[in-house]
Each structure stands twice: as structure tokens, then as C-alpha cells.
Structure 1
Amino acid sequence: MVTVLTPPGPVAYPIIASTMKRRDVKVVFEGNAEVKLNAIPLLNEVNYVLVSRMLVITPGLGKKIAVWKKGSANHILLDLVLKLYNHEAEVVFTDDPAEVYKLYKEGKADSAVVTTAVTRDGLYFEDLLSAKGFYLPGICGAEGLNEDFETAYLEGIDLFKEDPEGTSEYVADNLPIYRPSTFIESIFKNSEYSLRKLDKPYVFRKA
């Protein structure tokens, strides 16, 4: 039996999917657990990279950039990019992730930090950071080594590949917040999900 602590975001989707078939996986959204999932900037250290190429700045680095929630991983990564590129921009925050792209489309910002469920037209954070010599192995990961977690997460990815629609509906029904199953299906299709065990734990360093 393995307990996995996760926020209800994209990193959670495969581990939730695994509970369709497995009874030895417990997914919790608060408290503590052997394995913790989160965006890489929010983990103490990273043992597994789980989701890559999921976050873009669309259409590019503007002068007024919309981003979800002050202090979120999206904001931390944007702040890092702005510092590394010595790029001055006004940052526009919203507490509603669905509002970020809307602010851009309505002209209240000239660029936005969004997931690939919204668009793949833009600059990927891994590429932006790599160009400045900053290594970011992915967007989301896990802290805490556990073999049961490894097999469960990979099984969840396989379930998405076998039946994207049905698996997305199951995950949507088992989240503590509302997310349309179409959003879940889209983010899985347009991002890179895997389980990459790192030889040495990765520690995110802010610039």
C-alpha cells in the first residue's frame, strides 16, 4: 500500500487513474504521505520527473503578462525567466486559472502563462531556462522513492493511452475540484507524461 499526497492538478491525473484498477494506492489531497507530487519549484527535492512541456508563455515574452496566483509555481517560474532574461514586464495575477488566457484574449495582457491544454503556441519554460543555462528537468515531479508508486503511475499513463476519454472522465469524477474531463484529456494529449527516476535528487534553486 502506498499513500500519495498531491495537489488536484495535472500531475495527479495518472495516479488517480491508477485507482481504477488498483486498491493498493491511496491518493490524498492534504496531510502527509510517503510520496509527494507537486510542481517542481514547490518540492524540497525531486526524485521523479513526471510531467514535462506542459507550460508555455503565449505568444511570447510580453510587457504585460497574465499568470495564475501570486506565489504559485507558474509565478515562480515566470519570475525566474524575467530575471534571467533581464526582461521588465508588468505581471497581472488572477486566482482563477481559467481567467489567465481570457485576460490575454481580451487585451488586458499581451501574453499569458498557460498550460498546453489551452495552447501549445508559445515558449516552453524548459527551453527558455535551458537557453540561459538553467536546468529544469520538467514541470511536475515527485518526492519520495517508492516502487509501488512507480508501477501505479506508469499504469495510470497507460490507461490514458488506452482510453483517453473514459480515463479522463474517471479522473474528473475523483478530483476534489471541478475540472472538465475534456481539459484533463487535452492536457494529457498535449504534454509529456512519463516517470523518470533521477540518479541524484534535483533541487530547484530560485535565481
Structure 2
Amino acid sequence: MLKVLAAPGPVSYPMIAATMRNHDILIDFGKEGKADVILDSTVSLVRRGLRLDYITIKGLMVVSPDIGNRMGVWRKGSAADVLTRALLDKKGLKSQLVYSDDMGKLKEMLQNGEVDSIVVASVISKGKTFEELLGIPGSCGVHVNGDREGFISAYQEGIDIMKQDPQGSAEYVMKRLPVQVNPKMISDLPKVVTLLIERTSDYSDFEQLVKRYI
């Protein structure tokens, strides 16, 4: 049995999808506890002091349409917030940040001219990724304590399922998440991000960057 501790966001979707076929996976949602596999954003893994073994998603969060003077940012203290503040410092800019827990509302704020830029998931709006703007290794990743081959096999199977059956897997994943998510945001994910299992190399610069802004 592969025990997984996952943040209930996009990083967990392929692993949930894998359980459509693989019943030897036990997933707990949250950020506290121990498991064979821990899935979270790359920022959160560094924040938690966990080794970042693999990158699993690239291009999840974007700045849309570009860096603005008044920027709407998803959730204060989130990975998006940490990376936005790091980006502004890197560019030497003093943009005003406006926070919201609702990505849909942020998009409305941009359309209404309340902000001139937003930081949201790429399934919400097109934009420039933090991989492009800040050179981060990836948006989400995994810390593996146990069976690496078991993790790789299961996660890759989940990626394949999401690509082969976007609607069916989205409905399945949505019903098993502890939070409410529009199934279209799940089914569209493989179209707008890169889902992969990439072994990390030296990410010390990224680690130092995150620790500077958390």
C-alpha cells in the first residue's frame, strides 16, 4: 500500500486519478503527518523543510497579462504570494498587491479595471508563468520517503488517465477531493500545464529564494 499525504490542489489530481485503476494507494489530504509520498507546491515543500525529489507540475501559476502596478493575487501567504513578492523584488518594482481567496473574482477585478494584473492558476487565465519570469524549477513537486518506483508508476498512470479520459477522470477526482472544485478546472489542467515526473537537480537558489519571502 502506497501511503500518500497530499495538498488538495492540482498536485493531487494525478494521484487521485490513479486510484481509478490502482487500489493500493491510500491518500490523506492535508499538510500534517508522515507518508511514503508527500505532494505539495514546491514553495510549500521548502517551507515545510522537506526535500524536493521530483517536479510534477510546471506552469500552474501565471501573471496575467504581465506585471502590473496594482496586482490581484490569490490568497495572502500562498505560493502565489511568495513568488509574486520575490518577482517584484527581482524586478525592482513596488506594485500594490490586492488579495482574494477567489480566483474567479480576481479575473472579474481585472476585467473591471480594479487591478491591471492578476496572479492566478493558468486554467483561469493565460499569462506568463513563474518558471519563465523567475526561473523556478516547477510549480508543484513531491517528497518521497519510501518506494520511488511505486510513486513514479502510480503518478504516471494518473497523468495518462487524465489525458486519455479528461471528463471521466475530472468527475472522479472532483468527488474525492475534500474541497469543492469545478470539474472543468480539472479536465482542462493537462491542456494548460505540463504534468510530469522530473527528478530535481540542484535547487538551492530556489530554496533560498523561498526562505527569504515566507
User: TM-score, with normalisation over the residues of structure 1?
Assistant: 0.91
User: What's the CA shift for 1:118?
Assistant: 1.3
2-side partners of 1:201 and 1:80: how far apart? 16
Mapping of 1:141-160 within 5 angstroms? 141-145=141-145, 146-160=148-162
Q: Identify the residue that residue 90 of structure 2 maps to in structure 1.
A: 84
User: What's the CA shift for 1:205?
Assistant: 2.0
Q: Does 1:12 align with 2:9?
A: no
Specify which of 169, 183, 186 is matched with residue 185 of structure 2. 183
- The structure whose residues are more often helix, as a share, is 2
Structure 2 stretches lacking a partner, 5+ long: none
Q: Conserved in 2, the CA contact under 8 Å of 1:94 and 1:100?
A: yes
Q: Conserved in 2, the CA contact under 8 Å of 1:47 and 1:201?
A: no
Q: Conserved in 2, the CA contact under 8 Å of 1:40 and 1:204?
A: no
User: What's the CA shift for 1:204?
Assistant: 2.0
Q: Does 1:125 align with 2:127?
A: no
* Greater CA drift, 136-145 or 93-102: 93-102
Cα shift readout 1:39-65 (whole Å, capped 9, x = no counterpart): 111113310100001211001010000
- Where 1:204 maps in the other structure, the secondary structure is helix
User: What's the CA shift for 1:104?
Assistant: 1.4
Q: Identify the residue that residue 110 of structure 1 maps to in structure 2.
A: 116
User: What's the CA shift for 1:160?
Assistant: 1.0
Mapping of 1:131-142 within 5 angstroms? 136-142=136-142
RMSD: 1.5
Specify which of 193, 196, 199 is matched with residue 195 of structure 2. 193
- Where 1:98 maps in the other structure, the secondary structure is helix
Q: Identify the residue that residue 24 of structure 2 maps to in structure 1.
A: 24
- How many residue pairs match? The answer is 201
Q: Identify the residue that residue 207 of structure 2 maps to in structure 1.
A: 204
Mapping of 1:35-46 within 5 angstroms? 35-43=37-45, 44=49, 45-46=51-52
User: What's the CA shift for 1:200?
Assistant: 5.3
Q: Conserved in 1, the CA contact under 8 Å of 2:166 and 2:188?
A: no
Structure 1 stretches lacking a partner, 5+ long: 131-135
Q: Does 1:53 align with 2:53?
A: no
Q: Identify the residue that residue 173 of structure 1 maps to in structure 2.
A: 175
User: What's the CA shift for 1:201?
Assistant: 6.5
2-side partners of 1:201 and 1:117: how far apart? 26
Cα shift readout 1:5-53 (whole Å, capped 9, x = no counterpart): 1111111110000011111111111342221111111113310100001
Q: Identify the residue that residue 133 of structure 1 maps to in structure 2.
A: none
- Where 1:205 maps in the other structure, the secondary structure is helix
User: What's the CA shift for 1:89?
Assistant: 0.3
Specify which of 86, 100, 103 is matched with residue 97 of structure 1. 103
User: What's the CA shift for 1:148?
Assistant: 1.2
Which letter does structure 1 place at the counterpart of 2:80? N
